Every structure is written in structure tokens, then in C-alpha cells.
């Protein structure tokens, strides 16, 4: 198993552009999560999924969308990038609720 | 590497000493808690967890203590090593919510 992989590692976007952050896990986990991490702040949950075809909003979903068509993949879509979305984005997965979450290496996004 | 937290509280300890990192959690109903370690430029890594029906749990060189009366969690690291230098986060969860609330983190610096 390679765990949780995220692409790209780093991206610069102009205001108003869109992009998709990719996340894939090969551990057959049901639960997947997207977080953002701003400097000096804890991780904030954007969206989560408890299985293929099921997604729900977290604390800070505005400006983002997700889909979960397979167990392995959980892409995060930014439609109209804004400077407030400059952050480091982490994807995580877990087998069950209230068990260890495994995190990817993160995607650093800069919106100018 | 990525700067995880520019203005985090910092704990400096001498190599070989014991470290104690504290965390105040927010929801008295939370019933599951995790400690994560995050090295610069990497995603959070699971260290140890504890459920609310316990007040202490030990792992390899690490111990987590839970005091539900004052909503306090601590992580003790025995014989701290240079490789322990990182940012440490606590996270709390309430069963059925599928969500975790993360603390802002503490930076641990190990002095040689």
C-alpha cells in the first residue's frame, strides 16, 4: 500500500480560475476527508465522505465541491479561486469512524 | 519545507528529558481523542488515541492522559529525541458526527 496520495504538491492560481485537487487511497477505506490548514491554525474540515456516492459538508465548505464515485478517489474542486483559499490542503482516509485517519502529504495552493 | 504554524506555542526540551504537551478540548460530549505529529512539509501522522471511557493510555514512549472534568488532554513523550521535533496536534471527536475538531498545535523543539 502506498497510503494516501495527493496531486499536485504545489499550485499557483489566479483569482477566478478553477482547479481540482486529486486524492487517492489504496487502503480500501470507507471514510475520506478534506481539510485545509492555515498558518497558526488547526485543520478545518471542508468535506467528508463515508462511502462511494455519499458526501457531506464540514465546517468550511463554501467555495468547494467534492465527488466520490469510487472508494479510492475523492477529488476536491475549487470553482472560482479566491485569495482566501490560499492554504495547505490535506486529504485523509480511515476505515471506520473514530479510528486512525491517514493523511496525504498535502497540496499547497497559492491564489494571487 | 512547508511552514505549518508560524506563531504556535513552543515547548523546548533537552534531548533525553521527558516532554509534556497539553491540549484543552472544546466539547464535553466528545468521546474520542487523537494526538498527531506533523513534521515540516508533511501531513499529520497518528501517534496515539484514547476513548472517553479511559483516563490513560500508553504506547511506545508516549502516554496520553485524559481529564474529562476539566476537558484536558496531555501527551507525554519519554526520553525525547531529536526526531520528536515537530508540531503536535490534539483532535476530538463525537461519535455519530464523523468529524474531528483539531487544536492549533504546539511546536516541540528538542535541544541537543
Task: Output the CA–CA distances (angstroms, integers) from residue B11 to A60, B40, B62, B73, B105, in the order listed.
Answer: 30, 16, 16, 16, 11
CATH architecture classification, B10-88+96-111: Sandwich (2.60)
Provide the pLDDT for residue B104: 86
Residue B5 has pLDDT above 50, yes or no: no
A interface residues, B as partner, C-beta within 8 Å: 4, 31, 35, 37, 39-45, 48, 50, 56, 58-59, 88, 90, 92, 97-98, 100-106, 108
Judging contacts by C-beta atoms under 8 Å, the chain B residues touching residue A90 are: 43-44
Peptide bond before B105: cis, by omega within 30 degrees of 0?
Answer: no
Residue in B with minimal Cα distance to A94 = B98
CA distance A102 to A91: 8
Residue A78: its pLDDT value, please? 96
Residues of A in contact with B46 (CB under 8 A): 100-102
What is the residue-level pLDDT of chain A in tens, covering all 112 positions?
789 999 999 999 999 999 999 999 999 999 999 999 998 788 999 999 999 999 999 999 999 999 999 999 999 999 999 999 999 999 999 988 778 889 999 999 999 9
Q: Does B39 touch chain A (CB under 8 A)?
A: no
User: What's the sign of the alpha-carbon dihedral A101, A68, A22, A46?
Assistant: negative
Q: How much is the pLDDT for B2?
A: 36
On whether the CB atoms of residues B44 and B37 are closer than 8 A, the answer is: yes
With helix as H, strand as E and coil as C, how does B86-110 read?
EEEEEEEECCCCCCEEECCCEEEEE
- What is residue B97's predicted lDDT score, i.e. its pLDDT? 79
Contact B95 A104 (CB under 8 A): no
A58–B8: do the CB atoms touch at under 8 Å? no
What is chain A written as a DSSP string?
---EEEE-SEEEE-TT--EEEEEEESS--SEEEEEEE-TTS-EEEEEEEEETTEEEE-S--TTEEE--SSSSB--EEESS--GGG-EEEEEEEESSTTS--EE---EEEEE-
May I ask the CATH class of domain A4-107? mainly beta
pLDDT for the residue numbered A98: 78
Residue of chain A with shortest Cα separation from B1: A108
Q: Select the more confidently predicted residue: B4 or A63.
A: A63
The pLDDT assigned to B7 comes to: 66
Going from N- to C-terminal start, the domains of chain B cover 10-88+96-111
Q: What is the pLDDT of residue A41?
A: 81
Q: For A91-102, give one letter per residue: b (16+ CB within 10 A) or e.
A: bbbbeebbebbb
pLDDT confidence of B4, banded at 50, 70, 90? very low
Per-residue pLDDT tens digits for B31-64? 999 999 999 889 999 999 999 999 999 999 999 9
Amino acid at each position: 500500500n502506498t497510503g494516501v496520495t495527493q496531486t499536485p504538491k504545489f499550485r499557483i492560481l489566479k483569482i477566478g480560475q478553477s482547479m481540482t485537487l486529486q486524492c487517492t487511497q489504496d487502503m480500501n477505506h470507507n471514510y475520506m476527508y478534506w481539510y485545509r490548514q492555515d498558518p497558526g491554525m488547526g485543520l478545518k474540515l471542508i468535506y467528508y465522505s463515508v462511502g462511494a456516492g455519499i458526501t457531506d459538508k464540514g465546517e468550511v465548505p463554501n467555495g468547494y465541491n467534492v465527488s466520490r464515485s469510487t472508494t479510492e478517489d475523492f477529488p476536491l474542486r475549487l470553482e472560482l479561486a479566491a485569495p482566501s483559499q490560499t492554504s495547505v490542503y490535506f486529504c485523509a482516509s480511515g476505515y471506520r469512524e473514530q479510528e486512525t485517519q491517514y493523511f496525504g502529504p498535502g497540496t499547497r495552493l497559492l491564489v494571487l | 519545507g512547508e511552514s505549518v504554524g508560524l506563531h504556535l506555542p513552543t515547548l523546548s526540551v533537552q534531548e533525553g528529558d521527558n516532554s509534556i504537551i497539553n491540549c484543552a478540548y472544546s466539547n464535553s460530549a466528545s468521546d474520542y481523542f487523537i494526538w498527531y505529529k506533523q513534521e515540516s512539509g508533511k501531513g499529520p501522522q497518528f501517534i496515539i488515541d484514547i476513548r472517553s471511557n479511559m483516563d490513560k493510555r500508553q504506547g511506545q514512549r508516549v502516554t496520553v492522559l485524559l481529564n474529562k472534568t476539566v476537558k484536558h488532554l496531555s501527551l507525554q513523550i519519554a526520553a525525547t529525541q531529536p526526531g520528536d521535533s515537530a508540531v503536535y496536534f490534539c483532535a476530538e471527536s463525537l461519535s455519530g458526527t464523523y468529524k474531528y475538531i483539531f487544536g492549533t498545535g504546539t511546536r516541540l523543539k528538542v535541544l541537543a
